Amino acid sequence: MRTTIHEVARAAGVSIATVSRALNGTGRIAKATRSRVLRAAQDLGYQPNDLARSLLAKSTQTIAVIVPDITNPFFPELIKGIEQVACARGHLVLLSDSADDQIRLWQDLAALRRKQVDGIIFAGARLSPDRIAAVTAGLPVVTVDRETQLATASVVQSDHRAGARLATEHLISLGHHRIAHLAGPDGLTVTAARLAGYRQALAAAGIPEEDDLVVPGGFLEEDGFRAARELLARGTGCTAVFAANDLSAIGALAAVEEAGLRVPADISVIGFDDIHLAGYIRPRLSTVRQDVVRLGARAAEVLIDHLLAEGPSRLVQETIAVDLVVRESTGPAPRMVRIPAPPTAVTPEGGAARA
């Protein structure tokens, strides 16, 4: 049994009210009483029980973070940023890695509410705005990478569109005309924003879009691998690829090599994110850097500001700038386009594949 305020009160010979005041430094209290109480608390190893405290205060100093897949390197960085400011501002973080599983998400969300979290950071969610609203009803919410007309949520996100434009313009400036895009997962605003930026850049350069050059993909290595293989099999003669993110770019790199082509001599590849590994793999990956830790930090700051504000606070819509990082995976467009022999492309497992 843990020591309670009653034990401390008895040991110090005062009432529990006095102990509470001494410990919290609230209200007038005699110096002597105060130190007597402090001593007693110390001696007994007393630790206040936040459950009781929170029950009164109607605040738990806890925020929930919901992510779809903590295994994707984007989210740990985001969480790092969130944790940093949460800790600094006296909050704890309750984590749910469930957003990609509707059942579990629902379950976790309910549990989180019952636990009386003060607010929620929703990252990379595939939930529709109204469902989010329904579930979080009343709780302050900050979404990351999820533009939404949600009347109750602030949004913090990187400037995906500008980043995609940057990446595409970089390829154009290297002389590429036939530039492919391996898109992100369906139904995410990030996916749409990056596609839009890609299109914008093409349009601005007067390069006509070709449907064949946009391939559905995803955020994992295997998504990029598959998408790139599909792209190569189409025989579009593209000389550059803008991948949905770094992981898919790395998958694309593997597919290109599989096809017997070289990066960047035959095909340039650029990603998005600038994960830590991007500078270590060969060829070093050109990419668009987003400051994910800062993104998380800002999300937490915005949320905690909401919590501190009396009444309904003004919602925030914040966009964070991104940078182009040029490394080795992008280079000048080749004079002559080498076309791989698609029918018998080798799979990574060593077998033969047919598109």
Partner DNA sequence: CTGAAAGCGCTTACAG
- Given the rule CB under 8 A, which residues bind a copy of itself? 2, 45, 47-52, 54-55, 60, 62, 65, 70-71, 73, 75-77, 79-80, 83, 87, 90, 92-98, 104, 107-108, 110-116, 137-138, 220-221, 225, 247, 250-251, 253-254, 257, 276-277, 279-282, 348
Strand ranges (E), the chain: 62-66, 92-96, 119-123, 141-144, 153-158, 179-182, 214-215, 240-243, 268-270, 287-289, 317-320, 323-325
CB 86 within 8 A of CB 119: no
Interface with DNA includes 59 (CB under 7 A)? no
**Closer residue to a copy of itself in complex, CB, 2/39:** 2
Q: For residue 5, state whether it binds DNA (rule: CB under 7 A).
A: yes
Which segments within 177-270 are labelled E, that is strand?
Answer: 179-182, 214-215, 240-243, 268-270
Closer residue to DNA, CB minimum distance, 20 or 313: 20
In terms of CB distance, is 22 or 155 closer to DNA? 22
Q: Which does 70 bind (CB under 5 to 8 A by kind): DNA, a copy of itself, none?
A: a copy of itself
CB under 5 to 8 A by kind: which of DNA, a copy of itself, none does 60 bind? a copy of itself
Of 14 and 155, the one with the shorter C-beta distance to DNA is 14
Query: Which listed range, 48-56, 72-80, 288-296, 342-350, lies at the site for DNA (CB under 7 A)?
Result: 48-56
Tell me the CB-side half-sphere exposure of residue 81, using CA atoms within 13 A: 22
Provide the minimum distance between the beta carbon of 274 and a copy of itself in the complex, in angstroms, as a whole number.
13
Of the two residues 94 and 196, which places its CB atom closer to a copy of itself in the complex?
A: 94
- Any idea which residue has 């984007």 for tokens? 74
What's the sign of the alpha-carbon dihedral 233, 237, 240, 241? negative
Residues binding DNA: what is the number (CB under 7 A)? 34
N residues, the chain: 355
- The contacts of residue 278 (CB under 8 Å, 6+ apart) are 246, 271, 284, 285, 287, 325, 327
Min dist CB 26 to DNA, Å, is 5
Contact pattern for DNA over residues 6 through 45, marking x by CB under 7 A? x------xxxxxx-xx-xx-xxxxx-xxx-----------
CA separation (Å) from 61 to 54, 71, 88, 97, 284? 8, 26, 12, 20, 42
State in Å, rounded, how far the first CA of the chain is from the last one.
Answer: 66
User: What does each C-alpha distance from 203 to 199, 209, 210, 240, 321 come to in angstroms?
Assistant: 6, 8, 11, 16, 22
- Largest Cα–Cα separation, the chain: 91
Question: Applying CB under 7 A, does 4 fall inside the site for DNA?
Answer: yes
Q: List the one residue from 39, 52, 235, 337 that touches DNA (CB under 7 A).
A: 52
Choosing from 39, 43, 55, 237, the residue that interacts with DNA (CB under 7 A) is: 55
Q: Which residues bind DNA (CB under 7 A)?
A: 1-2, 4-6, 13-18, 20-21, 23-24, 26-30, 32-34, 46-49, 51-53, 55-58
